[in-house]
Amino acid sequence: MRAFRRRIPAVTAALVLAGCGSERIAPAPGLVELPAVLWEVSGLATLDADTIACVQDEDGIVFVVDVATGAVRDTLPFAGRGDWEGIARVPDGYWILRSDGELTEYRERRDAEGRVGLERAARVVLDLPHDEFEGLAADPAHGRLLVAAKDRPRGDKQARNQRRIWSVDLATRALRREPVLEFDVDALRDELATLDDRSDRKRRPELRLLVSEIAVDTVRDEVLLLSAADLMLLRCDRNGRLRSFHRFDERVLPQPEGLAVLPDGRVVVASEGAGGPARLLVIDAR
C-alpha cells in the first residue's frame, strides 16, 4: 500500500479556513493527501501526538495514519464490509459506529507472536429517533462516549429544528436517555450572526447543522461539531454555547467528514475525496 505524500502548498492551505468570532484557528503549513484506500474516510480518533486512527465507509479496518505525512502505518481489521462512520479510542481498544446506529466495542489483543488484533467485546444499539448516525467521540473526563446523528430528528417542524448529542456510559455500556447537549438551529443562526464579522445583519447565516463528526477538546474542555453540509466547524462550551466557528473552502476540503483533536489542542480534519484524493489537514488552535 503506497501512501501519497505530496503536500499542497501553504498558500493554498491558507485559503482553507476563515477564522470568525472570538478566536482564530490558523492552518498548518500544508495539507497532505491520503492514500486511495481512504478515499471515503469517515471517522478519526486520536492515538497520540503523531498518529490517528481512521475508518472509512466500506471496509471494516482501522487504519493507523501519520498526521504529518498521511501515510498508513498499520491496519487492524475488525469486521467485513459495512457503512462505518465513527471511531473512538478508549484505553483497551476502540468503539466503532455504523451508520444505522450499531455501536460496537473492539478490544486489542496480542497473538503468540505479539501482533495486535481486535476482537469484538460489546454491542450497543442506539434506540433513538434517527436513521443515520455519523458522529462519535470519547469523552474521557466523564467516562462516556458522545454520539451524534446526521439526519434531522423525526417529528414536526420544531422537533426537526433540534440537534442533540447523546452519550453512552462506558462503565455500564448503556445509552443515557437524556441528551448531553441540545441545540436549536435557529438560535445557533443568531449566534453565528453575532460572531461573524462578515455577516449581513439583516439576514441569518445559512446553517443546516447535519453533524458529520464530533470531537472533544480536552485541553479547552469544549465540544467540536463538524457539518460537511455547511462546510463548517463549530466550537461549543459544555453548555452548548457557541464559542467560535470556521468555514472551509470546498476547493480544498470538499467534504469534511473526519475530526479529531490532538493532545496539544491541534485539530485534525479529514475530507473524503470528491473529484480528487481524500485530504488531511492539521490546524493549530490560537
pLDDT tens digit sequence for 236-272: 999 999 999 989 989 889 999 999 999 999 999 999 9
The C-alpha atoms of residue 196 and residue 20 are separated, in whole angstroms, by: 5
DSSP annotation string for 16-74: SEEEEET--EEEEEEEEEPPGGGTTEEEEEE-SSSEEEEEESSEEEEEEEETTT--EEE
| Structural domain contains residue 1 | no
The helix/strand/coil state of 79 is strand
Helix (H, G, I), strand (E, B) or coil at 161: coil
In a domain, 2, yes or no: no
DSSP 230: G
- Given the C-alpha cell 449581513, which residue does it identify? 200
DSSP letter (8 states) at residue 249: P
Q: What is the pLDDT of residue 198?
A: 62
Whole-angstrom Cα distance, residue 168 to residue 214?
A: 14
* In-domain check, residue 53: yes
For residue 73, is it left (φ>0), alpha (ψ between -120 and 50) or beta? alpha
Residue 192 domain-assigned?
yes
| 2 band by pLDDT with thresholds 50, 70 and 90 | very low
**Residue 129 maps to a domain:** yes
Give how many domains the chain has, as a whole number: 1
CATH code, 49: 2.40.128.630
Q: What is the tens place of the pLDDT at every residue in 97-147?
A: 999 999 999 999 998 888 899 999 999 999 998 999 999 999 999 999 999
pLDDT in tens, 8-58: 333 344 333 444 443 444 444 568 999 999 999 999 999 999 999 999 999
Calpha distance 21→60 (Å, rounded): 39
126: in domain = yes
Euclidean distance between CA atoms 48 and 46, whole angstroms: 6
Q: Where are the alpha helices (DSSP H) in 91-240?
A: 157-160, 185-195
Residue 131 belongs to a domain: yes
Region of 231 please: left (phi>0), alpha (psi -120 to 50) or beta: left
- Residue 118 inside a domain? The answer is yes
> Helix and strand tally (H, E) in the chain?
3, 23
Q: Are residues 92 and 73 in contact, defined by beta-carbon separation less than 8 angstroms? A: no
**Could you tell me the residue range of the domain that residue 207 belongs to?**
7-273+278-282
Single pTM value for the model? 0.87
Q: How far does CA 207 lie from the centroid of its chain?
A: 18
